[in-house]
Every structure is written in C-alpha cells, then in structure tokens.
Amino acid sequence: MAPRAHQIASLLALATVGDARRMVDLSNAQMTALDTGTPGETVETFCDETGLKEMRGHSVDPDAEDASNAVEKGLLQAVTKELENNNVDQMAKSIFSFYVCARWAPDKVFWKLAEQELTMQMANQVLNDDNEELDPETANVMAIADMYRTYQFVPMLCSTNFEVFKNTDNFDGTYFHAFKTEVKGMMDFIEESASGEVAAELTKLDQTFCGDKPMMSCDRHKVFETLMAWFGSETAAEKQAKLAEKIQSFADHNSGDFKEWKGRFPFHSFIAKPKGWQADASEAPKSDERFVVCFGKRVASELHRRPNGNHILTDQNNVGCHGWYSPKETNQQLLRMMEMWKPPTCQLATMGFEMKKEIMAKFHDMNQRLFEALPSLINDELQEQETDGEFDFEDYLPQPVKPNSFTDPTTKRVFVDGMVVKAEKEMKRCKRMDVEKNECAEKETLKKGAYGRVEVIDDKLQVKWEGLGASNEESPEDLKIMPHGWKAKKGFAGHVRDLVAGVSTISDKAKELWAAINVPKKKNLANLMTNSVSKWAVCPIKGDADLEALDNSIGTEDAVFQEFQREAYSEWSGKKLPGKDCVPPSGSLGLPSGAKVCDLNEYHSDHVEKYTKKDETKELEQFVCPLTPPLGANDQLQVMEEQKGLCYLHMTGRQEQQYGWHYQGFFPARRQYERKENVPKTEYELIRLTKVADDGIEGSTTFSRWCTLEELQAQPRFCNLPKVENEWSTMTELAHDLAESLESAFDGAESVAPTGIGATAEEQTLAAEQGKMKKDKTRWEKVKEGAKWAGDKALWLGEKTWDKIRGGYRLTVSSAKWAKMKLTPGPHGNNRMAAELEAKLFGEDTTGNLLHSLSFQRALGKSNGTSNSKDRFERYMVSYPCPNFDPALEFALKKKWSQVAVRMIREGYNMFNRSKAGVLNKPVATLMMRGEALRYRNTRSRTVDVNNFPKASMKWDEASHEFREAEKCEYIEGQCQPVEWCEKTFFHAFSNGCKARVPYWKTLAAGEWWSIDDTALTSVVAPIVNSGSMNLKELYGLKMTLHCAPKKNFGAGGPPSPASSEPLVECLKKGVETNAKLKAQEPWKMYFPDEVIVVAQFEEIEQKECYTMPDAHPSDIKALCAHGSVKMADAKAGGAPISYSHLINPATQQPFGHDKGDSDVFQGVHKGAGFPKGTLSEVVLSPQDVLEALDMIVQSHGR
C-alpha cells in the first residue's frame, strides 16, 4: 500500500460504527435558485408552458389568467422535479465529485461535540501524573487534548462537494470548465492560507510534543520520563498542559483568517477512534500534513442521534479518501485529478457509462426477481383457488413432531408413529376406503414381508402399508419392528414425498402456466425493445426560443440505455460480442475480396462534452471517446483468438509512428483517442493471435505474422508455405524434424537452446498436421501402420512429450565411428538468419498496444438523431481467412532448408572458387547432393557384424573441363595447399616440394561427385535414427537451383522472367545496395516489389544406384541394391572404380569408414535418391545471406 493510503487507512481502521460523522447544516437544504446547466434551468427557459398544459389535458382559458399561470407553474415544477429527482443520468453524473477535509483543532464547536457525543470516551482518559482527580472542566480540557494528540478524536472541516456536472460555465458553456474554475479557487485558498495565522497555530499545536514529527512518535516510558524530569527536561504532563492551553486559546479564535477557513470548509466532521493510532507512530500525520481528499458523496447514512446527544449526525463516507497531504501536495493531487478527469482522457465517459449501467442493472435485477418469484406467486394463487379462497400457507408448513405411541398390553412392545414394520404373514388388507360409507371399498392381499409405517390414530395401532392407500388396524403379533430408517426395495421416501405432492404438483403447474403465458410475452417485449429507443416527450419548445442556446444547454441521446436495453433482453433476443461478427467492407475501404470488417465500438467527438485546451486562445482539443466502454484489451483479443482460421490486419510500430496512430493507454491522463480516421492499408501485415495474456493492458501477448495484404494479392507465392515434398508418415517423424529445426543454431557447444517460439504454436502445428493426416485416409492408414512399426502408439504428442523432444532430442549416429565426428559449424550468418526469420514470423506486444494496432477508425458523420448530434467514428478490425497458415511449421522448415541451401552454396563455392568459372560466376547455379552408405562385413569366430557407414557427396552440374588437369599445389605457411588435394613430395625436406594426391581422379573433373564432411548436410540426405541403425531406404538425393532477381520478376512458380544474364555474384552485391536503399527510403513498409531476392529451388534425384564388390556377400548385394536401385557398371579408371572414387579417403587410400587395422571387408555402396522427409520445394534468401556465408561481406554482429 502506498504511504499516503496506508496513513489514512491506519487512522480509519477499527473505527466503530458512526466514528466518521458530520453535522448537518439544514439551513442550506433548499436551493434558492436553479443551477446553470441543470435540467430545471432548461425547462424553465425553453419549455412552452401553454403547450405543456395542453399535453397534460388542461384546457386553455384566456379569461382565467391567474389560475392558468398557477397551473403552468405547477406543471413546470413537476417536470423539473421529475427530471432532477427521477433521472438516471443525473444520478450517475452526480457521483463524479470529491470533497476536501482539513485536519482541524478542537475549537468551540468541536469542544461541545466532544463533551456531548464522546462522553464515554472522555471518561476513560488518563488522570494527571500525581493520580489526583482534576476538576471537571480541567479534566475535560486535558482529556480532549490527549484524545487529539493520540488521534482518538480528530476534528475535521470539510468542503462542499466539487461536482463535475453541477453547473456550466459562461466561458465555453461546459461543465468541466466550471468545475476546474471552482477547484482552482480551492487550490488558491490552500496555497495562500498555508502562510496564514490559522495554519501557523495549527502547526504549533501539533509541534507541542514532538516538533515536526508526528505528535505521538516521541512518547517515553514512565521510568525514563521520571529520569529526564530530574535533569530538567519537560515532562509529558507539562507538555499535555501546554497543549491543552493552546487548544483553549485556539478555541477562542475569531480572526478573519479563521472565518475564511470556516467559509471554505463549512462542514464539521470528526473521526472518533477509541484505541487511537495503532500503526507505527512514525507514520502518523506530521504537523503540516493536514488535508485529505475524498471521492464521491459525503453523506453515507440516515440522520441519527446519540443517546442523550444534542446534535443530528450522519455517517460520512471515507471509502474514497487519500491523504494526509501538506498544502503543496494537496494542490498537486487536485491538479492531477483534474488532468485525469478532463474529457479527452475519456475517464468521465467510460466511468459514467459504467455507473449508469450499474444503476440500470439494479432495475433489471428488480425485474428479474419479480419474474423469478412469479411461479411461487402463481402457485399460491392456484392453491387459493383449490381451497375456495381459504388458503393460508402457514397451514401447509411442517408442524412440530408430536409422535403418538401404542403399547402392546401383552408383550409391552411400544409402537411409535413413523416406525418401520414388516408383515409376519400374508393378510387381506384394505387398499381403498369409501369415505362416505366409512368402510373399505377395495381389498388386496398383503404378502408376507411387506413393509409399512406405523400410524397411531385414536390410540389404535394402524399401519400404512407400502402400495396401499388406506391405513389398516393391525395386531402387534402380526408385526415385526425394523431398525430406524430401514428401507424396503422401494423405500418409504416416496410415501413421504406423497404427503407434499399436492404442493409440488401445483408448483409444476404454476411453472407450466408461467412458461406458457409469460415467456412468450417477455420474448415479444424483447423483440420490440431490442435495437429500439424509448423517449419521453418532456415539453414543447417555446416558439421564440433561441435554438442555438438550447442546443448548447442540452446533450445528445444516450447510448447507455440502448446498449443496456440490448443486454437486458439478451436472454431472449441474443447478444453479440464486439469483434465476433464480421461483414464484407464497403468499396470505399479498398480492401480485397475475402477481407471483412469486424465492428468494435462507436466513438463520438467531444464526448461527454467539449474541452477547452487553452483558455487564452479558446482552442478546443480534438478528441473522441467510446460511446460504450470497450471490452478489456485481453477480453477483446481472446474473442479474436477464438475465431479459428482468421488473421487480422495489423500495423507495425513503424507504421503506427508513420501514420500518427499512437497508443496512450499507459498514460490515462492523456488524450486517449484521436478524432481522425485510420484507414486500413494493404501495406499492413496480417497476423494471427497465438496466446493472449490475461493480466491487463501490460500483459505480453504473442502472435504469428503471415504476410501483407499487398504481397498476398501481388505475389502469394512468397506468402504461402511452398509445397512440402515427401511428407512425414508418423507424428514422431514430424515432431523430431520440428525439434531439430527449432533448436538454436549451432554455436560450438553441445547444449541445445530452444528458440523463443511458444509451445502453443508448436502444438498447433502438430494438431494441424495430424488433422491433415486423418483427412487423407490412405496417408492416415500409413501413419497408423508406421506408428505401429515404430511403437508410436499414441500418435499424439502432449506438451510434456513435446518439451522432452525439444529439450532432449539429439541427432544420434549409426556407429561408434560416426559418433567420433564433430558437428560442422554453420556458415557465418546462420544465427542472424534464424533470428530474422523468427522476427518475421512471430511477434510479441503488450496487450493494450496490440489491440490498438489492430484497430482502425472511419468517420460515420453525424447521426442527426438530435439537433446537436456529434461526429461519430466507428472503430473496427479487419479479418482475412488464413486457414492454412502454420507459423511454427513454416519457421521450422524454412530455417532448416535455408541452412541447407547456404551450406550447399558454401560447399560448392569452397570447391570451385579458385576458378573464374566458379559456382557464382554464372546467372544460375545448380548443385546436387545425395546420401551414400558404404557397407562393411566383419566375419568373426562366432559372429558376423554388418555396418553401414553414412556419407554424403555433391557435384556441380556446370563444372568446366578445365578442372580435369592436375591440381596445382603450393607450399604456403608450412603446408601443402590446398591440403585436401595436395601432399609433400619425397624430397620435400630439401625443396619444399608439393604434388597432387594420387590417384588423379581426386583432382575434380566435370560432372564428378566429391565427398563432403559437413555433418549437417549429411544428416539431411543420410539421416541417422535413434535406434543406432540406418535404413538404406532413407538415403535421399536432391538438386538445388539458385536464382537471383528482383522479387517482381518471379511469377507464380519457377525461375524469374525475364531471366538474369549477369553472374550471380554481381546480382548479390547489387542486391544488397538496392535493398538497403528501398528499406531506408520507406522503413515502415514490408513489401517491396523491386527487392532483390535469392530463390533456391529443390528437385529430387529420381534414381537410386548401387555398386557391389565382385566378392561381396549375396545378402549384402541384395541389401545394397534394394529399393529399386540401378546397379552401376564395374568400370575402372586408374585403378579405382569411378562409381565410388570420391569415397576414397586420401589419407588412407581406403574407402571412408575403413580405418587402418580394421578387419572390415568393404562390400559396396548404396546411393540415395528422392526427396528427404519434409523437403520444401523452395526457400527465399536475401543476398546478404549468401554473401555472409561465403565471407564476401563483413559479418553482422547484430544478432
């Protein structure tokens, strides 16, 4: 709790009933004149008395002028009374007021109050130090002084209420200007009086005990008090006497300053707190902290009087009080309150609506209570009809239990009313009595073991048997007494209910009657009242009335009543949430087909009244306020979040800045809503809400970003997710693939840090993909079969499983040798690319600002429903269908395949950059990559081990024949370079000689494959599964083609048109400059048709291949050449087969995977084909993505 709030709360805590009081000044109870701007003044000034008389059915007699005038005056007074005393609008507006109280001292008035109203409290006050009784007058003085010092009795002078809507001002005709003028008058007095005589005396009173500290903060223990007295220090008793003397002196005060205080604060109040200040004494009000400000009406109870009291009292409202303040602090708070309440902040408009709504809710509650009670009322009416008007509900109330008993004279067994008994034999018993003849009309056989309940009537033992309507007199020997509450198969509860069945049945009839008659009536009334208005024609206007002056003194029709009328009858007519129902826009908005407008609220200019910004220039502030309070930001966004498959048009922060659409929700004392249009533009982006915060406007809400409307219309290719090839067959495959892609970019550490994408988006991806699988019956059967094969019984991954996958999933390997390898670091820029992609697809904002950035505003003009209608604006959102937008999947796939693209470019560039004909020196680059497995067999004495070693290779389709000649090797920095293809000569120690490695095919030739060591690329085309084994079926091959051109040159698919003729490297470098210029010129825009982009398109290598050694084992031949593989010819080239020459390790001259000393026997190679799982058909890169990966541009350090 804030210190000031704590201070006032501590003073008011534990106050007894009636502790906060004020005397009622009845002398000013009647108003001497009508306040300006009130309904009464309007009626008196502008109503046509003669016309009003005719409306009321009075005849107009020109000869009876005096009587006629009296009637007219009476009618005007009746209308005025009705408008001012029976007025919901006035009732609600009158709440917006506050008053100021000053902590006073016990003057003569308060002296009498204390003596007459606090007699018991005064009687309990302390005696003097010598425990001698004081004379009554002195005792009263000392008691009052001590009560004042300890805050048991706090006298206060209080002002009249400062009401916002009390009077209008002649300056600009507004209530608020008059209110502000009145408050400033009080502020001037508080400032000037702070240095006056009364303020000085009040300060001295409080300083008597502890100086500038709180009056009770320096109390001392009695022993210490006595010790200090020995040294001449002033004792508490002496200070008490001095305080009493000052109080007496203050009570006799009668200066002009004193009278001015009484004039400004005319009402006498006090706080009576029997136990005094209980909180920390240091927190009590100091000598200059004398003011408290209280919101709301001052009077809080009926008038009353203490026993033997001589004052009429009433409780004073202190719920909305804050203080205590010094004069300077008080004025600061008053100024802040006026800033908070000025019309442009919309506080008055919003709170006024809510206040009216609360009042009308009570009216609605009265109506509801009546209708809830109607069935019971109708029930009693029906009962009265059945009893010929002699129904008295008291006769039907349960009566006190007075059980009768019967004692068996033979066995002395006692039978009591209500006992459960069982028949000991089969008997004939009466089922129905003939009441007129008083004899049994029908008998029935009662079986042995039947249950009944005892009824002792006229000292006779009778039993009401189950299933029989009549009671039968029985012999005790035929009955067995059962335990209390014992039940038969069909217990006796039904019988007990039968006793009140009449009432229950009638109640059902009453409900049916109520439903049949009143429900249709209420529905009919609801249909009439909903979307309608009800008006009271108050009076005709005088013929010579100044209509402009009239319009300046009245308001407009109130939407609160219309809104609440709709809400009150919503039970019968239905209710719509704002933003939920969307309709096609008018043509003037220029929105594309599919976009819809979702209405939020209506805003009016100068609502609730205009506001003069500067008195000197009479400049009016331009603002609008909502006609009805909008839904809370989080509630409104939750309504939007629930609309599945929809995105909403959104302004970015830069766009809000560019177009002056600023959010002021965090500054409630500022103008909240602009009086202008905010038209939706196609350059804005479409977003979908992901997770809405539930902690007000400052909560953080996340969303997913799709595309701008402009780009969606011009080039949907770059908005929608490209085609996904070779989709996943199980949910586990999808989850693992997503987990791998959602890991942070490799930073050299083994730990994996998940990206900032929320779990909600990830789960939505899994759910959406599962839904797609189910719709495709063939695929779903494969999914289920695949799940069965993989042991994935759930087919669904919950949040815990998903967390495990994200946090713990790692790529494992198929052999111990593969595990020894290190992950290849990603190209420069991969962290930046991932961060930029995440920022492009995901966003986060405070809930309040996000709703504002989703809101647009258009002018509706004036309604012309009233003579002074105000300009109206509609606030709305724009929705657009986006059922297939899956941001988490899009992020995962684009991140993965963008990295694949730049890694492949890096591999090709590093391999061929020593030539002018490198991969970037032509307009288009085409690179191929495939997964390969080298198979080994190791036959031991008792076991046979078979192992597949994964590898990946690439080739450049457009390599020229100049690479067929031997590699030129040089000795640089202590080694032969390039090290992967060169080695030292025999005489190296003498000549630093270097030569190309042999065999010669390791010097790359046109169209030849080369082995790559990039483990990230290898895992794409030769994936390793968690089981530690590798399925040769899952070796893949693909081809990537790279294009660079302005975005507008790309059509719906394929390469750009016209095709570029310049080398890729030139396009990339120029593209960096072009894009930088475009985005610097218009930084708020998101789509640039002239932006240069790089598109990497992926195609599949269609045919799997295999090569087997002549002495390969038959089972290995079968395995290597399975899955539709084509067996390659056993051609030789320089001593090694071309089919796997690129898989020879230059260091060992053995195939990869065969270490020195291994006893493994090489069996052959399987070469993959087809798209890897979840391949994107294309990805879009920026020029800097490629250049940074190849170290052709300075590395970015901003990510």
Low-confidence winner among 561-565, 583-587, 883-887 (lowest mean pLDDT) = 561-565
- Rounded CA-CA distance 1145/324 in Å is 87
pLDDT digits (tens, 9 = 90+) for 236-251: 777 878 888 888 788 7
- Region 396-417: what's the mean pLDDT? 87
Of residues 781 and 116, the one with the higher pLDDT is: 116
What pLDDT score was predicted for residue 758?
Answer: 56
Q: How many CB atoms lie within 10 A of CB 302?
A: 8
CB atoms within 10 A of CB 1002: 22
Provide the pLDDT for residue 616: 86
Question: What token pair was written down for 393?
Answer: 């509900």
Confidence band for 16, pLDDT divided at 50, 70 and 90 = very low
Percent of the chain whose pLDDT exceeds 70:
74
When mean pLDDT is compared across 220-229, 815-824, 973-982, the lowest value belongs to: 815-824
Cα-atom radius of gyration of the chain, to the nearest Å? 47
The C-alpha atoms of residue 759 and residue 624 are separated, in whole angstroms, by 40
Please check the confidence at residue 479 and state whether its pLDDT lies above 50.
yes
**Distance in angstroms (rounded) separating the CA atoms of residues 591 and 680:** 8
- 818 pLDDT tier (thresholds 50, 70, 90): very low
pLDDT, mean of residues 1002-1009: 58
* 777, two tokens: 């019956």
Q: Is the pLDDT of residue 91 over 50?
A: yes
pLDDT digits (tens, 9 = 90+) for 164-220: 998 888 888 899 999 999 999 999 999 999 999 999 999 988 888 888 888 877 765
Beta strands in 856-940 (DSSP E): 856-862, 871-881, 925-939
Condensed to tens digits (0 to 9), the pLDDT of residues 704-737 reads 999 999 999 999 999 999 999 998 877 677 777 7
Residues sharing a CB contact under 8 Å with residue 707, sequence separation 6 or more, in sequence order: 685, 686, 718, 719
pTM: 0.71
Residue 254: band (very low, low, confident or very high) from pLDDT cuts 50, 70, 90:
confident
940 vs 946, 1115, 1159, CA distance in Å? 11, 17, 9
In contact, 1119 and 935? CB cutoff 8 Å:
yes
DSSP string, 283-343: GS--TT--EEEEES-SB-S--B--TT--S-EEEB--TTEEEEE-HHHHHHHHHHHHHHHSG
Token output for 192? 């000037």
The pLDDT-based confidence of 493 (bands split at 50, 70, 90) is very low
- Distant-in-sequence, close-in-space partners of 164: CB < 8 Å, separation ≥ 6: 93, 96, 97, 175, 176, 179, 341, 348
Residues 6+ apart with CB under 8 A from 753: 743, 744
SS3 at position 600: strand
Peptide bond into 999 cis (omega under 30): yes
Q: Which residue has the higher pLDDT, 134 or 872?
A: 872
Dist. CA 887–CA 715, nearest whole Å:
19
Q: Which amino acid is at 1151?
A: P
Which has more pLDDT, 50 or 1191?
1191
Spatial separation of the C-alpha atoms in residues 758 and 690, rounded to whole Å: 8
Q: Where are the beta strands (DSSP E) in 863-899?
A: 871-881
Choice among 26-35, 677-686, 725-734, 1105-1114 with the minimum mean pLDDT? 26-35
pLDDT at residue 974 tops 60: yes
Which CB contacts under 8 angstroms, 24+ apart, belong to 973-982? 978/914, 980/1146, 981/1146
The mean-pLDDT minimum among 343-347, 802-806, 1156-1160 falls in 802-806
Instruction: Give every CB contact of residue 717 below 8 A, 6+ residues apart in sequence.
Output: 1050, 1051, 1052, 1053
Phi, psi of 875 (to 5 degrees): -105, 135
**pLDDT(938) > 90:** no
Alpha carbons within 13 A on the beta-carbon side of 324? 22
pLDDT bin (cut points 50, 70, 90) of residue 123 is low
Residue 177 has a pLDDT of 93
Query: At 603, is the pLDDT very low, low, confident or very high (cuts 50, 70, 90)?
Result: very high
Using one digit for the tens of pLDDT, what is the confidence trace for 626-659? 988 888 899 999 999 989 899 999 999 999 999 9
Positive or negative, the Cα torsion across 829, 831, 835, 840?
positive
- Residue 369 reports pLDDT greater than 60: yes
